[in-house]
Amino acid sequence: MNVSDSPLFGQTLADFGAAFRAGELTSVDVTRAMLERIAQLEPKLHAFTYVDEKNALAHAATIDALWASGQDLGPLMGVPVAVKDIFTIEGMPTHVGSRLALDDLIPPQGPFITSLQQAGCVLLGKTVVTEFCLGGVNLTHPIPWNPCDLDTPRMTGGSSHGSAVAMAAALAGFTIGGDTGGSVRWPAALCGVTGFKSSVGLWSTEGVFPLSPQFDTVGIFTASAHDAAIVEAALRQGPMRTPPLADGITLAISKDHFMENLDAEVAKCFEQAIAGLRSAGVCIVEVPMVEAAEIDEVFAGIVPADLISFLGRERLNTNWSLIDPVAASRIEKAFDMPVELYAKLVARQKVLEKMMAERLKGIDAFLSPTIPVVPKPCADFKTVESASAWNKLATQNTRPANLFNQCAISLPMQHLGSSLPVGLQLSSTAGSDDALLAIARTVQDILSKIEVP
């Protein structure tokens, strides 16, 4: 498999838009090429649950006709997109990675998908997700193949791993995921692409199968921070923020929690990134972040309890044998959670959110490795215990951003010292999405110029 074989290889979304408007390519041509590429690679990758070939080509033809008639829908016009199978799209099935009958719980199509269509995106189909978005691996559902290693199946992260793999294999211009505890940033880091988690409420989660409404956010996978900024601005229907100069950026790091359990390759890449950023003029300060460890109590308690409330205990009890054992183990731990404890955890989350917002005043973003490890062989995770331990370890650094209600992005940095993908995470206060993306563009530009001895 060669990513350079993709018609979108080496093109930014801005490049695509310029070529489309110059008549050098059409949406139909690119969509057909993407569909052919999916058909060729899907037997190995298993990134998709559903490919909507007929409607995608028909929609692409409509886009081309609109452009020919003088209508410009914006920067994303004609771009092929793949969507995580938790979003309802009219005419496509939604299974949320589960064998349970969920038709009565699937919401109608929501405003986010409609906004993609109105922006002129061509929806190629649905991508694979772990059951109910609980973690990064299921034992009864095969995970997609990570394109970083074509010989050994390696972990892809979760739960938006189908979209991450599709992006890494250049099967779309960008792809859509959902992030409740790292489900965009985690697979982005493991698959070597950029993954952006929006602030709660930036993009509506109506029409998205919920895991935990107070943490659920929409996210995107792109080839770069620049492309992520293009998508955010286009859907906002506003301008992109100008990236700041390096010497105008202040970033924070912490030795608490985020630097634990690091693989040697991850530690090396992070050290090189910090040194390169400082050399470029970025101000980097240390802040305490011991509260991040509370993810194991607060976050891990609220999320499964919210899912149980939505699915209903009767449905779960009746269909327990159909649920993947890794997902079931997470659900089971919160099945009898007292109401008083749930209320206490929710209250604590609000306190932590305000605390972190206050502590990070004057700081543009918090910096850490996205996950502490490189993608491990899938063969190492064949039991509920090993899979659950992996889920906990790999989300060590992503879940705090959800717990603290932050927006966040993962940037690939394996070129700084690893043969396997490694991610650099930046997170910032809720509502600062466009500012974070502007900073990420500057940081990614600096990372690309770092020379490692």
The residue whose two tokens read 């659950």 is 388
pLDDT at position 29 is 95
* Strand order from edge to edge, sheet including 423-429: 48-51, 122-127, 80-84, 174-179, 217-222, 194-197, 406-412, 423-429, 365-369, 250-253, 283-286
Q: What per-residue string of b and e applies to 217-250 under the rule 16 or more CB within 10 Å gives b? A: bbbbbbbbbbbbbbbbbbbeeeebbebbebeebe
CA 246 to each of CA 188, 251, 445: distance values in angstroms, whole numbers, following the listed order? 24, 11, 10
- In eight-state DSSP terms, residue 219 is E
Q: How far apart are CA 405 and CA 401, in angstroms?
A: 6
Give me the pLDDT at residue 451, please: 87
Distances (CA, A) of 160 to 27, 30, 94, 177, 348: 26, 24, 14, 5, 28
| Measured distance CA(216)–CA(221) in Å, rounded | 16
**Domain ranges within the chain, ordered by starting residue:** 3-236
Closest CA to 163 of 119, 112, 216, 218: 218
Cβ contacts of residue 417 below 8 Å, gap of 6+? 265, 268, 269, 272, 452
Pinpoint the alpha helices (H) of 217-338: 225-236, 264-280, 298-311, 313-318, 325-333
Q: What is the pLDDT of residue 4?
A: 58
What pLDDT sits at residue 452?
84
409's enclosing H/E stretch is strand 406-412
pLDDT in tens, 401-434: 999 999 999 999 999 999 999 999 999 999 999 9
CATH number of 3-236: 3.90.1300.10
Report whether 393 contacts 332 (CB < 8 A).
no
pLDDT of residue 5: 67
Could you report the per-residue pLDDT of 299-338, keeping only the tens digit for each? Answer: 889 999 999 999 999 999 999 999 999 999 999 989 989 9
Six-digit token string for 389: 């331990």
Q: Helix (H, G, I), strand (E, B), or coil: what is residue 331?
A: helix
Selection from 118, 44, 133 nearest residue 81 by Cα: 118
Instruction: Mark the ranges of the chain whose per-residue pLDDT is less than 70.
Output: 1-5, 9
Q: Is the pTM of this model over 0.75?
A: yes
What does DSSP assign to residue 255? Answer: S
Give the side-chain half-sphere CA count within 13 A for 365: 28
Closest CA to 47 of 124, 151, 139, 120: 124
